[in-house]
Structure 1
Amino acid sequence: MKIIAVIPARYASTRFPAKLMQDLGGKTIIRRTYDAAVATQLFDDVFVVTDSEIIFDEIRTHGGKVVRSIKDHESGSDRIAEAVADIEADIVVNVQGDEPFINKENLEKVIAIFKDDEANQVDLASLMTPINDWENIENPNHVKVIVDQNQMALYFSRSVIPYPRDREVAVQYYQHIGIYAFRKAALLEFTTLPMKSLEASEKLEQLRYLEYGKKIKMAETNHVGIGIDTVEDLEKAKKLLEQFPELR
């Protein structure tokens, strides 16, 4: 089973333009993320995929592997599918470019789902974390997921799922953590499938997979990654490096 990591890296960012090229402890954020993915030793290959000449040159100049994204894409899955179409792989893991402090355990969990899937029934693997604060549960920016007894995803929503009609029932709510591992065949098929109503309504691309009968298996984690979305996030990341030099 050949497993590769793909790091989508856009130069433009609404909240923090050029964030991936910002310096973090002597390296750009994107290069630190790339090096961290390689250092996990979980992957047969690691690629950055970008529409930016600046990011392309940054990775290539420092000896990394990078693929130029040619087309404009509506979803992350489409962007990754274009990049890996001609790359030999069985499993494709999407690593977030703005999370330089990669948690190896989380990546191991999504990879293990496929290694344990002897019947090849799982199309995607992803992560969820327990949430108990009602402010987070009701926040539409925090995507919730419900699963069956085998940890297969039943639905993802920005709404509260399940709806607490009876507050006396003990229900654990889960937030979806956007780390994906795809079976390559399912990823490439995704690009041929028209968007349906659930995805269009919720603006969640993972619903397209469910609407077309694909199987998404979830693993539980208590570790939520540290993303860099703002200048303030970058300053926090710099302080984290100062406190924990081993992260360098």
Structure 2
Amino acid sequence: MSVLVLIPARMASTRLPGKPLADIAGRPMIVHVAERAAASGLGRAVVATDSDEVFAAVRRHGHEAVMTRGDHQSGSDRIFEALRALDPRAGVETVVNLQGDLPTIAPGTVRAVLDPLTDAETDIATLGVEIADEAEKDNPNVVKIVGAPLSGDRLRALYFTRARAPWGKGPLYHHVGIYAYRRAALERFVALPPSPLEKRERLEQLRALEAGMRIDARIVEAVPLGVDTPSDLERARALLSA
């Protein structure tokens, strides 16, 4: 299976301006993510950006980057443009969308997102983590996967929500927003218009479910630190400077 890891990065963060270039232990955050993508061993790893500064920083640290348009509404739209530019002959079978604000993600966690694609019926693969903190179960910023168990570490996603779900006794799962797409699935997904539930929950992945696409989730041990705020950035600095 030919794999391309794409890391979308834009400078227009409202909560943390200039986020991709934030210094962490002497290197920009986006460079840390590129390093971890490369260390996963999945294949070619490329940062897809609309910023000349990000492009130059990534290249200066020895990683690959590609320029994309500045008007994309989502990371999936950005990586699809990058895919077509980098692989015009359609040799790549699988595309991993790795967020550019996960500087501490373990390479093994990046690799794990491919596991659900061993099932030929799965269109899109993603990750989840069982929620241990009771407060997170009612936190709308913690997106939950409602899924049918397929095995001890695999769910077939039925829904994604910001609410506490499902009801009753049993585990709840935090969705980790990393995706592996079959190439045809990504092409179909970006061609779809935003769906009603997607707009209501503000969760892009619901567009795929509403269109009848299958998303399976591999359950992993820990949620990688996502850097969205200045306090998150300080946590990442502490972890990577230790």
- What's the counterpart of residue 18 of structure 1? 18
Structure 1 counterpart SS, 2:239: helix
Shift of 1:36: 2.1
- What's the counterpart of residue 178 of structure 2? 179
Letter in 1 for 2:195: K
Letter in 1 for 2:167: Y
Number of aligned positions between the proteins: 234
Identity %: 41
- For 1:9-50, what per-residue CA distance to the aligned partner results, in whole angstroms no more than 9, with x for missing partners? 11121111112212222211111221221122222x111001
Structure 2 counterpart SS, 1:177: strand
- For 1:117-162, what per-residue CA distance to the aligned partner results, in whole angstroms no more than 9, with x for missing partners? 2xx2111111111124442111111111111132210111112222
Which structure 2 residues correspond to residues 97-136 of structure 1 after superposition, within 5 A? 97-114=100-117, 116-117=118-119, 120-136=120-136
Relative to structure 1, the CA distance from residue 242 to residue 75 in structure 2 (aligned partners, 3 Å threshold; closer, same or farther) is closer
Query: Bigger radius of gyration, 1 or 2?
Result: 1
Letter in 1 for 2:102: E
Shift of 1:102: 2.2
Letter in 1 for 2:175: H
- For 1:179-230, what per-residue CA distance to the aligned partner results, in whole angstroms no more than 9, with x for missing partners? 1111111111112111221111111110010011101011111211122222
Unaligned runs of 5+ in 1: 165-169, 244-248
User: Which residue, 146, 163, 166 being the options, matches 1:162?
Assistant: 166
Structure 1 counterpart SS, 2:113: helix
Shift of 1:242: 3.2
Which structure 2 residues correspond to residues 42-121 of structure 1 after superposition, within 5 A? 42-43=42-43, 45-86=44-85, 87=87, 88-114=91-117, 116-117=118-119, 120-121=120-121
Shift of 1:105: 2.2
Which structure 2 residues correspond to residues 134-153 of structure 1 after superposition, within 5 A? 134-150=134-150, 151-153=155-157
Structure 1 counterpart SS, 2:15: coil
**Mean CA deviation greater in 211-220 or 185-194:** 185-194
Normalising by structure 1, what TM-score? 0.88
Unaligned runs of 5+ in 2: none
Distance (Å, rounded) in 2 between the aligned partners of 1:230 and 1:15 = 6
Distance (Å, rounded) in 2 between the aligned partners of 1:84 and 1:239 = 34
- What's the counterpart of residue 246 of structure 1? none
Distance (Å, rounded) in 1 between the aligned partners of 2:210 and 2:20 = 33
- What's the counterpart of residue 167 of structure 1? none
Distance (Å, rounded) in 1 between the aligned partners of 2:228 and 2:197 = 27
Distance (Å, rounded) in 2 between the aligned partners of 1:214 and 1:64 = 33
Letter in 1 for 2:126: S
Distance (Å, rounded) in 2 between the aligned partners of 1:232 and 1:139 = 18
